[in-house]
């Protein structure tokens, strides 16, 4: 029995609210149950120095957590003067994931930054950020298409992410904080709509996991991603 | 005529949503029109080193702006490695304002941090933060009273803040971004419920302002503060 | 009775020593009693990046305190690796104040930096810095006029600053450290020679202050500024 | 055909030189072909603050690259004032991997830091660091056993790591820089001697990879890890 | 002929003004011609962590240069966020020099920090700082003796410093900026009153220098130090 | 008797291994007994901003110490976020020393960076770094001559460095850690092949040293440098 009463293969309620703030080209509040992440995609007409004059664009992500998004307050990274290792690891993962959905040449020499700020955390913030960030990115790119600043849609398919793990010996989908904090294995999976892998990151927290356990987790992830892509489609059609 | 069509002495629609996130002891989303600031008050059972063993507590504030809270994206301060001068100036102002509402001895040796994070900016973020931060602070202190960890309520009255300015020669209340960016004078006023001053910060942006202009602005501020205190009362009664 | 024996409306002895060091275009040691601040104005033939090619100049200030300017030694900010919040707040105030005296278009595309370094502190360092910094700025601008690098004097009138406060229930002018550390209200006022306001910053340290108290303090400030402007005139004529 | 002429399932020549420097409790130069990493394990009789008085120890890793370990010089991180995101990601991976081999309670309240410094890079520095770092860690722990400072060996089995990838459509083991820089998929696998997973990190660089490709890569990794564990055993027996 | 018209073995006019500021236990303005350095010695009743409970004290120095102490403005180190290499090198030299004059056990567990801030630079700031810093240190130690907080004078003799160099082929004493900037060799010498060496730092700026040149420079330095020690004695007797 | 059993004028065994790593234009492992420093010289086709378009090149050095190069682990400077004072002092010394061997105009507008990383420390790391760095620099310059990117050899003679000191009252050459940590005087001498001085840095650690002691130390240094230059020649001829 999971702490939340969910079935092993059951996602938390997923909500994707587009236009959550008004300035960003794409602004999506994504909720995986009690995890709430605000994903703002900003389009800038310049690329990082190492990409200049190469005819290609760039997609990157930054991740932050409001100090009291968590059960006890964590120090503000701006005050400490540096981002924590965990933050850097996560924002690099989100950036790699989202870039996998974009034809950077079709984007042209511009940069899209997807800021993922966690308003409330309950496990799975990075997978929520990727899933919601994709919708914000799609909205931002749509503004470029609408203004005819790019001709061809640089998005080549959906990208979504979900966590899977082994909790009390049982493979489960989309862990909340209660499960995550006592899981034996924790895995984040990013896949595209065709069910192929963009990124797989699995870590044994307790004992090492077996190939059969890995296989079960990947099966759960694939099914979860299907539902998340469907939710993204529904949100984007509205 | 003001850009928003408001009367000179008219506030924007004010909303104070308590319990906006679930972890903080006090969590309030404050809206002054399109300006939206999330104020989370956290109680910690320790004080800064210079206050240890003095039988007194501390109230402080931190201020942040999501990178895309504004019309064009601003760099994330955690990435730049330091808070900007403007940020530091604002969070010191919020902290001083909120401390003025609290009897630090009655609070006991604990610290309340009020994190004010701007989700969407349209002028007046610091005054919204103080007005909303007060309600978050009141909620956080109430949890201490409810748990009987303090006996006497350390809050001695309401604190609220509002901006006033001279826009196209006319004194106006609660400037939005359109007004603020072309105001000749900009003043932030923090007052208590008795109509006395906690802090006055007025700056001539264009030409120097006269004593009569100062007087008109302070009259507007006093009336605005009355309305804000009433809104705080209403929110806290719900 | 004030600790120093002064009347409520009496400034400390004011000294403005021009040419205190030999390298800066303007170099003034300002003394408000035992508070001594060295103000060096440097002219640079470039402007900050965001002002380039706009035909306008810039005036800015930096503030520092020698580690042993105070009763007990404070850490050197260069060693700590960052300026304190108080320092940033003060140097922004000085910069805004001095800019209010200058027609930035007449200055042309150049920058004047006014470095205000406190050699000895006894309260009121920021108001001394503004009052003395104005004279250093005037000297630096005069070198540009003398060399015919600008045609029209960009200074449009005097700027001076003074502190006022409520000490033991009585409004007083130009607080020294003994008064400042136990004042109920502390207010810094920057005015021009016409008696109009550039900046007003008043903070209740103890209890909130009333409108009538504010009015008395502003009256004291206006009289004090008159004397300071006279002292500036005298110094500049020598 | 691989650029190096190796078979798809063939490791580069592996060398593990113990006692490479004389100060560290464990000092191993590990070579995976031309990749050379110096792994120094240091024992310290204190734990991080958050672990104090809990009766448990800690194992952590730091990773660095000499500025000219690579084809063109990279800036020294000590000079830039911060570690790059890639560095932080790698050292966190090494630390998690090595901790998985250690019973932290049997280690007692002490910390082992494994410094992995790349003297020469040719792909696979992080997997070499884990494989060599394990041997340095084993040597460091042996000094504690020899001095009878711990009674029970906290190491519960071997840990090794290897990279696998898809290069020109073919799954290959232990990529060198020539392969790595043009691989379509890159995966790092950490396993224990029983063939169970400690960590799996796979990233699509070009197009997304399929489940069958993932399976082939994991098979290659398992065989490679077997050889690496054998090499570790041989080195530790000498 | 030297630019200043001095003889090769002639110091600039030396002035040592004690009590220049009022807060520090020792406060000396030292002038070597147009070079002016304010040396403030502060006594603190604690030692650095690595010296605690060893019954010994510490003497250290910090060096700073006001931004416009020089011909063109240099960035403020507090703003840049770090001290420059040159600054660190100089303050370490001053600290080593002054420590050589003090019996750290007789000082007891306290720290004396000598802050040397250059108000105006014209060459030789580090040697002026050591020579003046010694007098400030002596004054600070005298306050401890006067208050009977230490019994035995920890100062065991005078320390002074001077620069020597080869300018236009000729060995010269106490170089000013005009000479220093075109000297072929630049050497700083710290000696005690007995004419023995505390520190020698000589650098060839143009071509390498010979042993005979070194010898001539050391002879000049020894004579210069004699005069500086006499000036220190005179100042301390007043 | 020296701790190592060496004669007072005896160097430790010197080894210079060229081509130690494969990427750098010059890569030398230098060993002074148990002190081992890897010196990598990198050629870059750009100069620092302040040298641009002046037709001259630049030679600079950076110094680092692996965390466990020493008896007890020192924190990694990249993690601490800044280089220590000692590091900065040393790398500035190495840079000045190596620049003295190079005609910067003949080098053309390019920069050579010599990275000196200490793999194992046993005293004298800075003098080993200069002596080995010279050989790495010579190899890097040779690649420029071989590719005919410069016509004239910018190296004008050899540079080497050695430490001397007073240990138990006796002047000794090339101190190892055991001697260095208890020496009364420590001096680093950089000379060219003609026996002229590039830099002399002597520090009294215990009592001040006399002119006759200085003379003895310089004699020892001159003889040691002769041997080191011979070793450099031999290494470069191989």
* CB–CB contact D207 A196 (8 Å): yes
> Is residue D125 part of an annotated ligand binding site?
yes
In a domain, B74, yes or no: yes
B168 Ramachandran zone, left/alpha/beta (phi>0; psi -120 to 50): left
Q: Is the pLDDT of residue D125 over 90?
A: yes
The predicted structure's pLDDT at residue E82: 86
- What's the CA gap between A124 and D145, in Å, rounded? 41
DSSP conformation class of F50:
G
- Structure confidence by residue, pLDDT tens digits, A131-176: 999 999 999 999 999 999 999 999 989 999 999 999 999 999 999 9
Among candidate residues B82, B203, B97, the one with its CA nearest the CA of residue B158: B97
Per-residue pLDDT, averaged over D135-140, amounts to 98
Which two tokens mark E18? 């004690």
Calculate how close chain C gets to E37, using CA atoms only, in Å.
Answer: 12
Among candidate residues C45, C6, C42, the one with its CA nearest the CA of residue C22: C42
Nearest CA in chain C to B206: C100
User: By the 8 A CB rule, do C150 and C181 touch?
Assistant: no
Per-residue pLDDT, averaged over A29-55, amounts to 96
The predicted structure's pLDDT at residue C206: 78
Range of the structural domain that residue A54 is part of: 14-237
Task: List own/partner pairs for D1-7 with CB under 8 A and 24 or more apart.
Answer: D2/D167, D2/D172, D2/D179, D3/D176, D3/D178, D3/D179, D4/D33, D4/D176, D4/D178, D4/D179, D6/D172
Among candidate residues E48, E50, E157, E66, the one with its CA nearest the CA of residue E113: E48
* E strand intervals along D152-223: 159-167, 170-173, 185-192, 197-204
- Structure confidence by residue, pLDDT tens digits, D185-201: 999 999 999 999 999 99
Residue among C197, C200, C209 minimizing CB distance to B196: C209
Per-residue pLDDT, averaged over B173-202, amounts to 96
Calculate how close chain F gets to D97, using CA atoms only, in Å.
Answer: 20
Which two tokens mark E211? 């042993």
- Structure confidence by residue, pLDDT tens digits, D74-90: 999 999 888 999 999 99
φ and ψ at D190, to 5 degrees?
-110, 130
* CB–CB contact C73 E42 (8 Å): yes
Which two tokens mark E122? 């014209």
The predicted structure's pLDDT at residue E81: 85
The pTM of the full predicted model, rounded to 2 decimals, is: 0.90
The predicted structure's pLDDT at residue D81: 85
CATH number at residue F152: 3.30.230.70
The predicted structure's pLDDT at residue D205: 85
A81 to each of D82, E83, E154, how far by Cα in Å? 11, 17, 41
Burial of B72 (0-12, 13-18, 19+ CB in 10 A): exposed
- What's the CA gap between D50 and F222, in Å, rounded? 54
Calculate how close chain E gets to C119, using CA atoms only, in Å.
Answer: 7
- What's the CA gap between A211 and D214, in Å, rounded? 12
E2 to each of E121, E122, E185, E217, how far by Cα in Å? 19, 15, 15, 16
A58 to each of A50, A55, A114, D53, E236, how far by Cα in Å? 11, 10, 11, 48, 68
Side by side, the strands of the sheet bearing C185-192 are B170-173, B159-167, B185-192, B197-204, C197-204, C185-192, C159-167, C170-173
Per-residue pLDDT, averaged over E206-233, amounts to 96
The predicted structure's pLDDT at residue E101: 95
Binding site members of E: 86, 124-126
User: By the 8 A CB rule, do B173 and B224 touch?
Assistant: yes
E149 to each of B162, E43, E102, E105, E209, how far by Cα in Å? 55, 12, 16, 13, 49
- Structure confidence by residue, pLDDT tens digits, B72-112: 999 999 998 889 999 999 999 999 999 999 999 999 999 99
In a domain, F143, yes or no: yes
Mean per-residue pLDDT over chain F, rounded: 96
* CB–CB contact D194 A214 (8 Å): no
Which two tokens mark C195? 């008696």
Among candidate residues B157, B144, B149, B60, the one with its CA nearest the CA of residue B103: B157
- Structure confidence by residue, pLDDT tens digits, B30-45: 999 999 999 999 999 9
Strand partners, F90: none
Residue A178, classed as helix, strand or coil, is helix
What percent of chain E clears pLDDT 90, i.e. is strictly above it? 95
What ipTM describes this predicted complex? 0.95
Chain C interface, mutation test: which of B204, B214, B229, most C Cβ atoms within 10 Å? Answer: B204
- What's the CA gap between F1 and F145, in Å, rounded? 47
- Structure confidence by residue, pLDDT tens digits, E64-120: 999 999 999 999 999 988 899 899 999 999 999 999 999 999 999 999 999 999 999
**End-to-end distance of chain C based on CA atoms, in angstroms?**
36
What percent of chain D clears pLDDT 90, i.e. is strictly above it? 95
In a domain, D55, yes or no: yes
Calculate how close chain B gets to C5, using CA atoms only, in Å.
Answer: 29
- What's the CA gap between D160 and A205, in Å, rounded? 17
User: By the 8 A CB rule, do B125 and B64 touch?
Assistant: no
- Structure confidence by residue, pLDDT tens digits, F150-187: 999 999 899 999 999 999 999 999 999 999 999 999 99
In a domain, F9, yes or no: no
Confidence of residue D184 (pLDDT cuts 50, 70, 90): very high
Confidence of residue A82 (pLDDT cuts 50, 70, 90): confident
Which two tokens mark F182? 């208890």
User: By the 8 A CB rule, do C27 and C113 touch?
Assistant: no
Chain E interface, mutation test: which of F48, F99, F203, most E Cβ atoms within 10 Å? Answer: F203
Residue among B44, B117, B120 minimizing CB distance to A73: B44
- Structure confidence by residue, pLDDT tens digits, B202-236: 999 878 999 999 999 999 999 999 999 999 999 99
User: Taking the CB of residue D48, how many other CB atoms lie within 10 A of it?
Assistant: 9
The predicted structure's pLDDT at residue F63: 98
Q: Is the pLDDT of residue A205 over 90?
A: no
The C-alpha angle C98, C43, C135, rounded to 5 degrees, equals 40
> Which residues does chain C have with pLDDT short of 70?
none
- What's the CA gap between A104 and A56, in Å, rounded? 5
In a domain, F1, yes or no: no
- What's the CA gap between F63 and F66, in Å, rounded? 10
Helix, strand, coil percent content, chain D, rounded in steps of 5: 35, 30, 35
> Is residue B74 part of an annotated ligand binding site?
no
- What's the CA gap between D191 and D162, in Å, rounded? 9
Calculate how close chain F gets to D32, using CA atoms only, in Å.
Answer: 14
Chain E interface, mutation test: which of F96, F98, F185, F208, most E Cβ atoms within 10 Å? Answer: F208
Among candidate residues E202, E162, E95, the one with its CA nearest the CA of residue F201: E202
Nearest CA in chain D to A99: D205
Q: Are strands D197-204 and D185-192 parallel, antiparallel or unpaired?
A: antiparallel
What percent of chain B clears pLDDT 90, i.e. is strictly above it? 95
In a domain, B59, yes or no: yes
φ and ψ at E160, to 5 degrees?
-145, 165
Chain D residues close to A201, C-beta within 8 Å: 199-202
User: By the 8 A CB rule, do C29 and C22 touch?
Assistant: no
User: Taking the CB of residue F84, how many other CB atoms lie within 10 A of it?
Assistant: 15
Which two tokens mark B232? 């705080």
- What's the CA gap between A134 and F224, in Å, rounded? 67
- What's the CA gap between D81 and D116, in Å, rounded? 19
- What's the CA gap between B105 and B152, in Å, rounded? 10
Q: DSSP letters along F165-211, please?
A: EEETTEEEES--HHHHTT-SEEEEEEEETTS-EEEEEEEESSS-B-H
Nearest CA in chain B to C204: B198
Residue among D203, D209, D218 minimizing CB distance to A96: D203
What percent of chain F clears pLDDT 90, i.e. is strictly above it? 95
Strand partners, A38: A29, A117
Mean per-residue pLDDT over chain E, rounded: 96
Among candidate residues C16, C4, C6, the one with its CA nearest the CA of residue C228: C16
Q: Count up the domains in chain D and report the number.
A: 1
Which two tokens mark C25? 């275009």
Among candidate residues F87, F36, F27, the one with its CA nearest the CA of residue F63: F87
Which two tokens mark B117? 């994070």
* CB–CB contact D211 A197 (8 Å): yes
Chain D residues close to F64, C-beta within 8 Å: 66, 76, 78
- What's the CA gap between E124 and D180, in Å, rounded? 55
* CB–CB contact C197 B191 (8 Å): no
Nearest CA in chain B to A84: B78
C: neighbours with 3+ CB pairs under 8 Å?
Answer: B, E
* CB–CB contact F78 D70 (8 Å): no
In a domain, C1, yes or no: no
User: Furthest-apart CA pair in chain C: how many Å?
Assistant: 56
- What's the CA gap between A136 and A115, in Å, rounded? 10
Which two tokens mark B52? 């240890």
- What's the CA gap between D154 and D105, in Å, rounded? 8
Q: DSSP letters along D28-40, please?
A: EEEEETTEEEEEE
Calculate how close chain D gets to A232, using CA atoms only, in Å.
Answer: 19
Chain E interface, mutation test: which of F86, F91, F185, F204, most E Cβ atoms within 10 Å? Answer: F204
Residue with tokens 């605690």: E52
Chain A residues close to D197, C-beta within 8 Å: 202, 204, 208-211, 214
Binding site members of C for phosphate: 86, 124-126
Confidence of residue E206 (pLDDT cuts 50, 70, 90): confident
Query: Residues of chain E whose C-beta is under 8 A from some C-beta in C?
Result: 21-24, 27, 34, 36, 38, 40, 42, 44, 62, 64, 66-73, 76-79, 81-83, 87, 113, 115, 117, 119-121
- Structure confidence by residue, pLDDT tens digits, F52-67: 999 999 999 999 999 9
Calculate how close chain B gets to A183, using CA atoms only, in Å.
Answer: 22
In a domain, A32, yes or no: yes
Q: Is the pLDDT of residue E184 over 90?
A: yes
- What's the CA gap between D40 and D34, in Å, rounded? 19
The predicted structure's pLDDT at residue B207: 85
Which two tokens mark A201? 């990151």
The predicted structure's pLDDT at residue D161: 98
- What's the CA gap between F95 and F116, in Å, rounded? 11
Per-residue pLDDT, averaged over E118-138, amounts to 98
Residue with tokens 């203004």: A147
Q: Is the pLDDT of residue F109 over 90?
A: yes
Among candidate residues C64, C113, C118, the one with its CA nearest the CA of residue C86: C64
- What's the CA gap between E35 and E69, in Å, rounded? 9
């Amino acid at each position: 029995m999971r702490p939340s009463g969910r079935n092993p293969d059951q996602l938390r309620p997923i909500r994707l609210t587009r236009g959550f703030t008004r300035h960003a080209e794409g602004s999506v509040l994504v909720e995986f149950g009690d995890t709430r992440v605000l994903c703002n995609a900003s389009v800038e007409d310049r690329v990082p120095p190492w990409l200049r004059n190469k005819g290609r664009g760039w997609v990157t992500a930054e991740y932050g957590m409001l100090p009291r998004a968590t059960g006890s307050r964590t120090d503000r990274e701006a005050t400490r003067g540096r981002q924590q290792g965990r933050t850097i690891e996560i924002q690099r993962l989100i950036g790699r994931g989202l870039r996998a959905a974009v034809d950077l040449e079709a984007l042209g020499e511009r940069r899209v930054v997807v800021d993922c700020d966690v308003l409330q955390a309950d496990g799975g913030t990075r997978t929520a950020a990727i899933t919601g960030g994709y919708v914000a990115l799609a909205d931002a790119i749509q503004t470029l298409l609408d203004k005819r600043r790019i001709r061809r849609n640089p998005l080549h398919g959906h990208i979504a992410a979900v966590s899977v793990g082994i909790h009390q010996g049982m493979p489960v989908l989309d862990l909340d904080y209660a499960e995550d904090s006592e899981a034996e294995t924790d895995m984040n999976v990013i896949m595209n709509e065709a069910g192929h892998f963009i990124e797989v990151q699995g870590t044994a927290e307790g004992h090492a996991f077996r190939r059969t356990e890995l296989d079960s987790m990947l099966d759960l992830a694939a099914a979860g991603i299907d539902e998340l892509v469907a939710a993204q489609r529904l949100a984007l059609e509205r």
